Amino acid sequence: MIQVNDLVKSFSDFRAVDQISFSVQPGEIFAFLGPNGAGKTTTIKMLTTLLKPTSGTLAIDGLDIARHPNEVRKRFGIVFQDPSLDNELTALENMEIHGVLYGVPARVRTERTEKLLKLFELWDRRDSFVKTFSGGMKRRLEIARGFLHTPKILFLDEPTLGLDPQSRNQLWSHVKHVNETEGVTVFLTTHYMDEAEKVAQRIAIIDHGKIVAQGTTAELKEQTKTDSLEGAFLALTGTTIRDESANPGADQMRQFSQMWRR
Amino acid sequence: MSAIYAMWLREVKRYLRSRVQIVASLAQPTMYLLILGFGLGPVFQEAGKGSYIQFVAPGVVGMSILFSSIFSGVGLLFDRQFGFLKETLVAPVPRTNIMIGRTLGSATIACIQGTLVLTVCMLAGFRPVSWGQFPIALLFMLLIATVFAALGTAIGSVLKDMQGFQIIMNFLVMPIFFLSGALFPLTNLPAPLSVLTHMDPLSYGIDALRSQLISVTHFGAALDAAVLGACAVAFLALGTRLFSKIEI
Ligand SMILES: Nc1ncnc2c1ncn2[C@@H]1O[C@H](COP(=O)(O)OP(=O)(O)OP(=O)(O)O)[C@@H](O)[C@H]1O
Ligand SMILES: [Mg+2]
């Protein structure tokens, strides 16, 4: 379902993704784990046509991404790590616009929107502007929106970031549900090893842009002679903390935009 | 088709909700109209050119359309920073449609804004010479708005931050405004200035508005329409190209 060969992405002279290859089978739940800055989001951006690789090939459902971006976009859904909602619209309007862009028929759209907003406990706030939501509520809306259409592949980039335990449970059981009933292939990243262990059938561990290990949880544990996924992860990637590079541009822009809206 | 409509609707909804901003953005054109209109009025009259308010009102309308369409085109920059742009870029619709929807939304907003400014002009004493040509004037407003909304989207596609926007404002948008003949007649200008004014698409836009609203024209409405049409096509093509190349 996903086929990646010798993928490289460089930002000026820094290699964020360094010659990785892997494949994900149809119907599989695949977890992509790695420390901060390992290159997970960059890989997902290339898989979802947002970023062009420096070299290497990517295929989704047998289609080369560089040559058929529009066809590829019809096959996946994504929940981004970073915010991607329109803050000036209501929750319902955000769902609506997503449904229209993804060609979900009006009736199905209304039905599913209600079901999903109820599932993620946003139904009572459906007519509130997203800018009035708490961080976790925004996150839940992003997730609900991601499930509005049924793609062949679902990319989840740290979907549980900032979610309470209830919502996390809800999310993973829903992920398992669509995987089992509709055969949706899932490609996910998370920093919670227990989540990966629970839902993922196969795991790849990436560090400094390189894949350092791949396999089932059992295989990874055996390979590192540890007794938990967390232990295996630490054994493979070391115990030093990675600095997350800050983005000074974004803050300034936010301030400016606030001024602008007055 | 529905993607174009969805993107258009989003732009228009956001605009209609920002009431304070709508009123605030009327302030600048109103100042130009009143202060320049009444300040330069006597000199203009003495030079035998008639009423300056009559002359400058179409220019001020054109100015508000220019600013409004460029600003909302550049709204792309905010969508990039706040993340919503990603959501539209991964959607299973050709990026051309997303771009067209956004641009038409921006153009619609600019037209509403232009109409509001025209109303302010009438409150200040401006009178179109014939109401019959009014609908044609509105069509020209839409054409001007499309030209600059497409330019705004093209610019917004390549800019990454606000510094870039300041540069565009100072070195592109302001010159387009000042060179357009919005504030002065295009006749008897020194040669270099005359050349620059002829290269400015807004010159043709404002000339077109004058041809319909006050029956005065420098280039002739047919040439105006041709140049504006060609610019609209060129900028839409450029905008589409740049927009579909956006990486995040
Ligand atoms: N546009 C960019 N320009 C320059 N460097 C970038 C850019 N985007 C990402 N990087 C760098 O590439 C590396 C990988 O980033 P990426 O976002 O893929 O990490 P990640 O594995 O998703 O980490 P996290 O767990 O923190 O989300 C980081 O060092 C980051 O600084
Ligand atoms: Mg990431």
Task: Ligand 1, residue A242: give the atom nearest the CA.
Answer: 26
B87–A84 CB contact, under 8 Å = yes
Q: If you measure from the C-alpha of residue A256 to the centroid of ligand 1, how many angstroms do you get, rounded to a whole number? A: 25
Q: What helix, strand, coil percent values describe chain B, rounded to 5?
A: 80, 0, 20
Which of B10, B13, B91 is closest, CB to CB, to A102? B91
Domain ranges of chain A: 2-261
Closest ligand to C-alpha of residue A34 is: 1
**Cα A101 to Cα A167, B154, B247, distances in angstroms:** 26, 22, 19
Closest ligand to C-alpha of residue A52 is: 1
Check if A41 has its Cβ closer than 6 Å to any atom of ligand 1: yes
What is the model's pLDDT at position A257?
A: 52
Task: Ligand 1, residue A34: give the atom nearest the CA.
Answer: 21
Question: Which pTM value belongs to this model?
Answer: 0.90
pLDDT in tens, B160-206: 888 888 899 899 999 999 999 999 999 889 999 999 999 999 999 99
Q: Does B18 touch chain A (CB under 8 A)?
A: yes
Report the CATH architecture of A2-261: 3-Layer(aba) Sandwich (3.40)
Backbone angles phi, psi at A79, to 5 degrees: -110, 115
What is the sign of the dihedral through the CA atoms of B80, B82, B83 and B84? negative
Chain A hits for B84, Cβ within 8 Å: 84-86
What is the model's pLDDT at position B161?
A: 83
What is the sign of the dihedral through the CA atoms of B24, B25, B31 and B34? negative
What is the model's pLDDT at position A262?
A: 41
Q: Does pLDDT of B112 surpass 70?
A: yes
Check if A39 has its Cβ closer than 6 Å to any atom of ligand 1: yes
Chain A hits for B10, Cβ within 8 Å: 86, 89, 93, 97
What is the model's pLDDT at position A246?
A: 43
What is the model's pLDDT at position A244?
A: 52
Check if A94 has its Cβ closer than 6 Å to any atom of ligand 1: no
CB pairs under 8 A between A and B: 94
User: What is the number of structural domains in chain B?
Assistant: 1
Chain B hits for A80, Cβ within 8 Å: 83, 86-87
* A55-60 β-sheet, strand order: A14-24, A2-11, A55-60, A63-64
Could you list the mean pLDDT of each consecutive 10-residue stretch along chain A, which spans 262 residues?
95 93 96 95 96 96 94 94 96 97 95 96 96 95 95 95 92 95 96 93 95 93 89 85 53 50 44
Taking the CA of residue B9 and the nearest CA in chain A, the distance in Å comes to 9
- The answer to whether residues B18 and A94 touch, using CB atoms and an 8 Å cutoff, is no
Give the range of the structural domain holding residue B201, as residue numbers without chain letter.
2-244
Helix (H) or strand (E) holding A207: strand A202-207
- Token readout for A119 is 């599932």
Chain B hits for A150, Cβ within 8 Å: none
pLDDT in tens, B59-79: 999 999 999 999 988 889 999
Which of B18, B20, B83 is closest, CB to CB, to A84? B83
- A90 three-class SS: strand
pLDDT in tens, B129-163: 988 899 999 999 999 999 999 999 999 999 988 88
